[in-house]
Structure 1
């Protein structure tokens, strides 16, 4: 009587889930889930665009990527915003130091001679030690310490004259907007 019943392999071909053990059913479920993920990832990778940006330092590669991110509506998380903040602080301090140095080399007099003290303060800023702890960036506490000197120097007519002659020396193009913006200055 049992001779006419189909074998387990034949039954499993027509009724795959009926004759599986509990472990086999779980493995089958996981396999299908993995297959779905692979299919979804294939679709994602097909739509993914990869580009290689080549260029010298400070040529705008990172800026381009940040702009593309903003244009396509991807907001920056809090950690990224904090990293940008430290970068801005670093750029402002570097920019002010360049302007103080350029003012001297271009023989531009101070608008207010008392700003010589602020200029000395900024030129004494030790970029290696101050930035070593912040992974190459200026930390907010350090920036706050130098903020009065930065504000006084940016308001000085001699520094403004040096800035107007920036084509005669190398100044990072990102410095000026942040020096003018009081919101950044207030941290």
Structure 2
């Protein structure tokens, strides 16, 4: 069995990545019935709308419609300290308020300024699908599950098979508080999949609200890739969320956050090349290549292709090591 250590920063494992990875094998849908049922009551409850209401207020953005002040207060009064799923009947009570708020230009403006605060990246999708999610008989689609964020707490292991070859993926939380737990996972790993959110070049960490997320990822990558424990370990860089990167480069200049960027900040290929170079420059050991892939985890075909490519890379690299021993 081949062991992979997978690490991400801030939102290390959301279900969309795991769901997409699992869908590389039967059943074709990629999500089994128990996984679906887990999300039946919860996929529509964490829409991030409370964050938007709070951000609108703190940013001093006026309401388009004054009656939405009451809708905002109604939503902010909701309490679920235990983080438990909300039953469909209860969630239905909030759908009119959520719909009205999402239709207000004040909330839309707050959403357009989301790089100034912490907001989940699937918020728009769930708010756009409120009518469907708010139905009493709502059952989450595969896309709902792929887009439902689920952060890794501690260490989680996933076993799956790609073309009859068993793999064990050891997923470690990327939050600063989780990093001291990594070292217990290092024994016997054959590869490290380092996953980065490629679109987060204009965002900061949740932990300190100052450190650029991409800079944090680069610093962690530098620490890991230059550790003597991993001299013979394949390092594979996943630059994820390319779908978001494609849209972001059109309007947000990476040069504002990385002054050393050379090229057209609104040209995707230039930005991609710069991102790969930033990580590649962190490596001191040049005897092994840096394998990298730009991925869109909610695109199961893309993930299927990438995971098969990664499988071949891992097998080839491990075969080379065996031959050299």
TM-score, normalised via structure 1 length = 0.63
1 or 2 for the larger relative contact order (CA 8 Å, sep ≥6)? 2
Is 1:97 the counterpart of 2:50? The answer is yes
In the alignment, which residue of structure 2 is the partner of 1:54? 7
Tell me by how many angstroms 1:178 deviates: 1.1
The SS at the match of 2:106 is helix
Q: Does 1:158 align with 2:113?
A: no
Cα distance change on mapping 1:139 and 1:52 into 2, 3 Å = farther
1:184 matched to 2:133? The reply is yes
For residue 117 of structure 2, the aligned residue among 169, 173, 183 is 169
For 1:88, which of 39, 43, 60 is the aligned residue? 43
* TM superposition shift of 1:120: 0.3
3-state SS of the aligned residue for 1:53?
strand
CA-CA distance at 1:164 after TM superposition: 0.8
The structure with the largest alpha-carbon Rg is 1
Partner SS state of residue 40, structure 2: helix
Q: Deviations over 1:84-115 (max 9, x none)?
A: 233322321xx000000000000000111101
Q: Can you give the 5+ residue segments of structure 1 that lack an aligned partner in the other structure?
A: 1-47
Checking the alignment, whether the CA contact within 8 Å between 1:153 and 1:159 is kept in structure 2 is: yes
What is the TM-score normalised by the length of structure 2?
0.38
- Residue 175 (structure 1) shift: 1.4
Of 75, 80, 93, 1:122 maps to 75
Cα distance, 1:171–1:53 mapped onto 2, change above 3 Å: same
Alpha-carbon RMSD across the aligned residues, in angstroms, is 2.1
**Change beyond 3 A, Cα 1:122–1:115:** same
Inter-partner Cα distance in structure 1 for 2:14 and 2:107: 29
Q: Note closer, same or farther for the CA distance 1:163–1:80 as it changes in structure 2 (3 Å cut).
A: same
The answer as to whether partners of 1:103 and 1:159 remain within 8 angstroms in 2 is yes
Show structure 2 runs of 5+ residues with no match.
Answer: 139-325
Q: Write out per-residue CA displacement over residues 150-180 of structure 1, whole angstroms, 9 at most, x where no aligned residue.
A: 1111111111111111111110112111111
Matched positions, count: 133
Tell me which protein shows more strand as a share of its residues: 2
> Higher helix fraction: Structure 1 or Structure 2?
1
How many Å separate the matches in 2 of 1:144 and 1:49?
46
Among 54, 72, 79, which residue is 2:25 paired with? 72
